[in-house]
Amino acid sequence: MGYDLTQAKLDRARPLREQIYPMVKTLILSGVIRPGEAIDEKEIAAQLQVSRTPVREAVKKLSDEHLVDVIAQSATRAARIDRKEIHQSFLIRRALEMESAAQAATRMNQDHADHLSDILTLHARALERRHYAEAIERDDQFHHTISAISDLPRLWNAIEVSKAQLDRCRHLMLPRAGQAEATLEQHREIIRALNSRDPEKARDAMRSHLEAAYRSTEAVLDGPGLG
């Protein structure tokens, strides 16, 4: 087992499954738990010093998102990379984020623009330092902020679930030549479109960005090493 959760901090006053779920999800999305690899619920529970029940509940939620395969009388495993699942995730995410951007455009103000620009600066700094995990966090923060500007809080929850399959490829995408720079320029174009307060321009900018990202995802899928 290639991970150690013994240093994780759990708040015993909050539901444990809600805290364990993002921990295990991050291990899967980052590739620490590789596609097809067994997930040892008993060991996770032991490392976190909890019963197996909240671990099992967290894994069940990941199964509902098609990130985990639970096979009766057999091992629970991280789901293998499935191109059909990833394509569906892309189609759903594109539709939701285009609408998020369109709605945000009508609500944009200078504070919103400054906040997005600040995130972009931190994103660029993380890339310069080759801190790719932080860069992915800043990328998510950028998209989450647009959703928050749209003032449709349930929309981001749906986007997070829909993009989970795509996220499994992201840790392999950033080191590819030109990918990081392209992403930053696309984010700048999204900010310009949002600042125009034109919903159609915002939709188009978001669509172009997500379609470019998906083309990079397809390149990763066509490469070696994904199971």
Which range, 121-130, 171-180, 202-211, is most confident? 202-211
Cα 61 → chain centroid: 16
pLDDT of 29 reads 87
The residue behind tokens 């998906």 is 214
pLDDT of 162 reads 87
pLDDT of 66 reads 87
pTM: 0.83
Answer yes or no: is pLDDT of 109 > 80.
yes
The residue behind tokens 């890339």 is 127
Compute the average pLDDT of residues 60-77.
86
pLDDT of 225 reads 53
Compute the average pLDDT of residues 134-145.
94
CA dist 17 and 39 (Å) reads: 16
User: Where does the pLDDT of residue 75 fall: very low under 50, low under 70, confident under 90, or very high at 90 and above?
Assistant: confident
| CATH classification number, 83-222, choose in 3.40.50.2300, 1.20.120.530, 2.40.50.100, 2.40.340.10 | 1.20.120.530
The mean of the pLDDT values for the chain is 90
* Residue 38 DSSP symbol: B
Indicate if the alpha-carbon torsion angle 68, 69, 71, 76 is positive or negative.
Answer: negative
- At CA 59, angle to CA 54 and CA 60, rounded to 5? 95
Domain with CATH 1.10.10.10 in the chain: 16-78
User: Where does the pLDDT of residue 226 fall: very low under 50, low under 70, confident under 90, or very high at 90 and above?
Assistant: low
Among candidate residues 164, 170, 179, the one with its CA nearest the CA of residue 217: 170
| CATH classification number, 16-78, choose in 3.30.1330.10, 1.10.645.10, 3.40.190.10, 1.10.10.10 | 1.10.10.10
Domain with CATH 1.20.120.530 in the chain: 83-222
- At CA 77, angle to CA 71 and CA 78, rounded to 5? 130
